[in-house]
Amino acid sequence: MSDCVFCKIATRQIESYIIEESENFLAFLDIHPHAPGHTLLIPKNHFKNLSELPENLGEEFVKIAKKTAFLLSKAFKTEHFTIGINQGSLAGQTIDHLHIHFLPRFPNDKGGSIHSVVYNKPEEDLSAIYQKILKVKNES
């Protein structure tokens, strides 16, 4: 997409600190790091979110995700990471090009776990929630 920052990073129209690359993916440092080594992994083509990512890229995606984590763990001497996607504006997605955040974690880094991102306690019990999902599954 012509006005997408991450498409421009993928095509080198915008500079970035690229740490790893494969045929269809690129990992580069986030310009406003929330942790040392904060990295974004993107598909080079413009897919808005995980749902749009073609399944045949799955193996390549897992491979580069593992390599990204490996490089960061060695460079920053930590085995601890928060890895996640802000999918959709309500979840905080600001750039509509799929990107996975890799945040190396350190002792006393003042961060929380994924549980601290949201606590919107459901009113329904787990069984009702499960039935809703099963209904969709059975109809699809």
By annotation, the residues acting in catalysis are 99
Q: Quick check: 6 binds Zn ion (CB under 5 A)?
A: yes
- 133 conformational bin, left if phi > 0, alpha if psi -120 to 50, beta if neither: alpha
Contact, 44 vs 25, CB < 8 A?
yes
Give residues with Cβ within 8 angstroms of 68, minimum separation 6. Answer: 19, 20, 27, 39, 41, 102
Binding residues for ligand 5GP, per CB under 6 A? 5, 14, 16, 28-32, 40, 86, 92-95
Q: Closest CB to Zn ion among 37 and 97?
A: 97
Q: Closest CB to ligand 5GP among 69 and 98?
A: 98
Binding residues for Zn ion restricted to 92-121, rule: CB under 5 A: 97
Cα separation, 28 vs 38, in Å, equals 9
Q: What binding mask, one character per residue, do residues 43-82 give for Zn ion by CB under 5 A, x or -? A: ---x------------------------------------
